[in-house]
Structure 1
Amino acid sequence: MADEFMKGFAILVTAGLGWMTLAGWYRTPGFEDTQLIAPPEIADPTIYDQLALVAMDGLFWFAIFGFLTFVVVIPGLREVRKAMSESEA
């Protein structure tokens, strides 16, 4: 169980750091303004800006779903499989 938690935690930290870096660049208009959650204000985005915005959203959802998968789903499936094998025996 500890190895699944560490895998999920590593995904959360790594993807979260990537998201925070990109969100800091693209979603922080100023120090005194809304930070990390403001809509990106790019008048004419280049291909690199568009890739960064897509990667930012992907990293956010990967952090959420990756963590939940390794911390909740996989251990839950193992418990269900264990309970089903005990009930058959």
Structure 2
Amino acid sequence: MADEFAKGLGILTTAGLAWMVLAGWYTTASFAEGQLLAPPPSDPGVYASIGLFLKDALFWFAVLGALTFWVVVPLVEQAREAWAERSS
């Protein structure tokens, strides 16, 4: 179970850091206002559009990846063990 925790933590840390970098580039209006959560630029170019898409994808990858390794994988393993005990 420790390796699943490490995998989830690695995904959360790496994707979260990349999300913070992209959010700092594209959605920080000023340092006095809400950082990382300002609205995105109204007319982004091609690279800014790719960066904004990647920012959203990394956010959801961080959340769903960590939940997968911390919740789903252990539940599946417990269900397999219970099924094996029940069938034998």
Superposition TM-score, scaled by structure 2 size: 0.95
Match of 1:30, SS state, is coil
Percent of pairs with identical residues: 53
In the other structure, the counterpart of 2:72 is 73
- For structure 2, the residue ranges without an aligned partner over 5 or more in a row are none
What is the match of residue 56 of structure 1? 55
- CA displacement 1:27-80 (0-9 Å, x = unmatched): 11001101111211x243111000000000000000000000011100110001
Name the count of aligned residue pairs: 88
Tell me the residue number matched to 1:36.
36
TM-score w.r.t. the length of structure 1 is: 0.94
What's 1:14 paired with? 14
Hey, what's the Cα distance between the residues in 2 that align with 1:43 and 1:72? Answer: 38
CA distance in structure 2 between the aligned counterparts of 1:51 and 1:69, rounded to whole angstroms = 26
Distance 1:11 1:60 in 2: 11
Moved over 6 A (4+): none
Distance (Å, rounded) in 1 between the aligned partners of 2:57 and 2:44: 18
- SS of structure 2 residue aligned to 1:48: helix
| CA positional deviation for 1:84 | 0.9
Q: Secondary structure at the match of 2:36?
A: coil
Query: Which amino acid letter does the alignment assign opposite residue 83 of structure 1?
Result: A
User: Cα RMSD between the aligned structures?
Assistant: 0.8
